[in-house]
Structure 1
Amino acid sequence: MPGPLHDIVVLDLSRALAGPHAAQMLGDLGAYVIKVEHPSGGDESRGWGPPFVGPDGDISTYFLAANRNKRSITVDLKSAEGKELLERLVRQSDVLIENFRTGVLDRLGFPVARLHELNPRLVILSITGFGHDGPEGGRPGYDQIAQGEAGLMSLTGPSPDEPYRVGASIADLLAGIHGAFGVLAALFERERTGRGKVVRTSLLASVVGIHSYHGTAWTVGRTVPKANGNHHSSIAPYGAFRCADGMIQLAVANDGQWRKVAELLGIDPDQPKYATNRDRLIHRDELIADIEKALAAHDRAHWLARLGELGVPAGAIRSIDEVYAWDQVRSQRLLVKVDHPVLGEIELPGSPLRFEAPGGVEEEPVRHLAPPALGQDNEAVLAWLREREQGGGSG
């Protein structure tokens, strides 16, 4: 299948993770993505590891994670030749993605006004660390710094005194997701107006944007949320519990589910300290102790089976290798196979989206391209560009 964005051209000037993730998402939907890299080393994530793979041990699995469905060309944007090529590419593109520090594109001679002079239909996605303006708008941004500054680390960890970063680079990934979402909205609006616009987001904005009930706890309730370890701040019992051979997770969202769990574990659900969710939160430490005392009688498989029979949300805590071996993950097409020019056929984490046509027929996924070697598509993209220019018009 060509994908819903098959006629969209994306010029990816970004590097590291946030911008490349946004471009990859658009590529997963069928867009023609051109990744512009400096001839000397390219995207810095090509050097991030371990692990490194390949016969020479020089291919970064980090880079592989954010650059499928792209063509790589090498361009020195500081040279006259590079600037001329970028102008030609901008004229033939629908979307430009950049995550330079504020002002870098301006100094290269490509401020927003110049880009829209070259192509009035261009949608520009600009991702920064802390925003393009404001008193700290020029700060460089990396994921862990943003997690701390945006409050996420204060919510994560075993206690308020031990803030933890989220294990995944969640600020980068959320910025990429929000950025791609904004691009799609701008492309949709362009169908009505005929003009592109600038979409801006940042690592800071993307993390603050998912505070959700933690945010309203403060903005409305004037309560500062704090880290609760593996247990929910507003619902009990909801978290990780020890049993005979490890840990399972329970998510008891209402009193009906609580009664089922309590009866299964031999706990009186109507005793005053556990009767309502508010009561259970007040006495949460006692509740956790009582639940774990009961769970110690059997292993995880036993409890997960019994909880499943009762329809109570529960689950294991899987390692990454266990996740990708899980039949349910594979059934959801969350792994894709690509033919890498050096590594051969490899599997990559896939897009979380699936599409179904009217009548309930699931569409076949886009044929995925392997993350490219540095500059591997120089000749192919230049040939494509000449053909576009001869045909006239932008994407």
Structure 2
Amino acid sequence: MSDVKSAAASGITGSGPLKGVTVLDITRVVAGPFCSMLLADLGATVIKVEHPDDPDYARTFPPFVNGDDGDFSAFFTQFNRNKLGITLNMKSEEGKALLKTLVRRADILVENFRPGTMEKLGLGYEVLRKENPRLIYTAISGFGRTGPNSSRPAYDNTGQATGGLWSMNGYPDMPPVRVGTIIGDLAASLYAAIGTLAALREAEHSGRGQVVDISQQDAVLTLTENAVVRYTTSGEVASPLGNDHPFVRPYGQFPCKDGFVFFGGYTDKFWRITCEMFGEPELADDPEIDTMEKRFDARVADRRVKPILERWFSVYTKAELEELAGDRVPLSAIKTIAEVVEDPHIAAREMIVKVPVAGKLVRMFGLPVKLSNTPGNPSEKAPNPGEHNSFVYSRLAGLTPQEVEKLSEIGAI
């Protein structure tokens, strides 16, 4: 880690397993901020860098919480909690020089501009590595830094479309449907966090930094499960299946008294337990559906297995079915977000945390990485634009209050 002792001595450290790691976050929206937020939750000191006249426009995304200083985006907070906030104009000469100064004291820089943007600013990796050879330069983009499409603009839907996932989602004989969340942004951020930590580990041993090149298209492609090998081995092109699995049955959504459940008892063991559980053990020995291979047949599943399950489930609620199944078979309620937020198990896992937003505590998702000895802390607020200018610039760049004020007056910060 570059100059970790100096950063720690300056008081710019978090607490947790990444304590002492300093991250410059010059990303916006989600693909990038989510990556650096994970690092912040795990104890890194993450400094969110925004243009003084054009801050992260995710600050304008609902829902909002009204406070004494106006509305503040809970969406923005969810992906920028636990960060310090500074402003910096990287187009100005003073701003460029200041970023280079900060890079000397940082371990990681995360950016999500279109490839080539930082180079046009004179702040690409080859320039910054001269300031800090140990720097981890994490770049997230739609198509990555190499390849014929690298300069194309992209959003989350771009990744879903070009990575193949969109074409697989939805119902048979209907147009494909995008996944109902920004899975391209989120997946790219997760891979970026993994790659960044791997590169940081290498830098600790070798003293050499490197580029972590993350593509939304690449990230989405890895989420297509068996679609690639189905195509490369048999020429089969994956298409929308609704709630069905391409070959495992029963394994999907089934209606019940007050909604729907997922049931995945497709093995012979689980099928026998299920038949006994619903008082018809003889069905486990029915010669038409007594083996897993027979139940995999789509025609048999539709004609025999599906009606049996729907008859069993129809007289129970989601909660009753979960209680009945218990630890015996894989059966889960398909829960609304409201039900998930209030789920006792989610509470036990500390996956809903209270984070300050505009002076109020707002519940949002927590940190899914659970470490036994050095747990993360996802509870601090997101910064206002430039909130920590004086603090960061004095400690990492050695500027006096007068110098900070002058840079602000000329629009450099």
Pairwise same-fold verdict (TM > 0.5): yes
Partners of 2:48 and 2:16 lie apart in 1 by 19
Partner of 1:124: 137
Letter of the 2:381 counterpart = A
Match status 1:350 vs 2:366: yes
> Quick check: 2:351–2:367 contact (8 Å CA) kept in 1?
yes
Instruction: Tell me whether 1:381 sits opposite 2:392 in the alignment.
Output: yes
* CA distance 1:74–1:160, shift in 2 (3 Å): farther
Name the structure 2 match of 1:42.
55
Separation of aligned partners in 2, 1:291 and 1:319: 22
Distance in 1 (alpha carbons) for counterparts of 2:397 and 2:317: 65
Q: Does the residue aligned with 2:110 lie in a helix, a strand or coil?
A: strand
Once the two structures are superposed, the pairs formed by residues 80-229 of structure 1 within 5 Å of their partners are 80-159=93-172, 161-229=174-242
Choose from 325, 346, 352 the match for 1:335.
352
Residue-by-residue CA offset, 1:300-350 (whole Å, 9 max, x unaligned): 3332222226x101111111122111111111111223344x233333311
The DSSP-based 3-state class of the residue aligned with 2:86 is: strand
Residue identity matched to 1:328: H
1:102-157, Cα deviation, whole Å (9 max, x unpaired): 11000100122101111100000011101222121111111112112211122221
Which residue of the partner structure matches residue 318 of structure 1? 335
Are 1:241 and 2:241 matched, yes or no? no
Listed as ranges, the gaps of 5+ residues in structure 1 are: 358-362, 390-395
**Are 1:275 and 2:290 counterparts?**
yes
Q: Secondary structure at the match of 2:113?
A: coil
Instruction: Give aligned-pair identity as a percent.
Output: 37
2:275 aligned residue:
262
> What is aligned with 1:360?
none
Corresponding position of 2:318: 300
Conserved? CA contact 2:31–2:189, under 8 Å: yes
Q: CA deviation at 1:237?
A: 0.9
Residues 314, 367 of structure 1: CA spacing in aligned structure 2 closer, same or farther, 3 A cutoff?
closer
Residues 166 and 331 of structure 1: is their aligned pair in 2 closer, same or farther, counting only changes over 3 Å? Answer: same
Cα gap change, 1:272 to 1:164, in 2 (>3 Å): farther
Distance 2:378 2:92 in 1: 35
Instruction: Tell me, yes or no, if structure 1 residue 52 matches structure 2 residue 52.
Output: no
CA pair 386-38 structure 1, distance change in 2 beyond 3 A: closer
- Specify the code of the residue in structure 2 equivalent to 1:330: A
TM, length-normalised to structure 2: 0.87
Corresponding residue SS for 2:347 = helix
Partner of 2:306: 288
The one-letter amino acid paired with 1:301 is A
| Preserved CA contact (<8 Å) 1:338 1:348 | yes
For 1:102 and 1:151, locate their aligned partners in 2 and report how far apart those are by CA, in whole Å: 22
**CA separation in 2, counterparts of 1:248 and 1:367?**
31
Moved more, 142-151 or 173-182: 142-151
CA contact (8 A) 2:393 2:399 kept: no
Q: CA deviation at 1:271?
A: 3.2
| Contact kept in structure 2, 1:48 and 1:62, CA below 8 Å | yes
Residues 378, 84 of structure 1: alpha-carbon distance in 2 compared, 3 angstrom cutoff: same
Number of equivalences: 381
How far apart are residue 91 of structure 1 and its match? 0.9
Note the C-alpha offset of 1:253. Answer: 4.2
TM-score, normalising length: structure 1: 0.91
| Equivalent residue letter for 1:3 | G
Q: Is the 8 A contact 1:160 1:226 kept in 2?
A: no
For residues 58 and 345 of structure 2, the distance between their equivalents in structure 1, rounded to whole angstroms, comes to 31
How far apart, CA to CA, are the structure 2 residues paired with 1:245 and 1:158?
23
Distance in structure 1 (CA, Å) of the matches to 2:174 and 2:356: 47
Q: Deviations over 1:148-180 (max 9, x none)?
A: 221112222122523111112111001000001
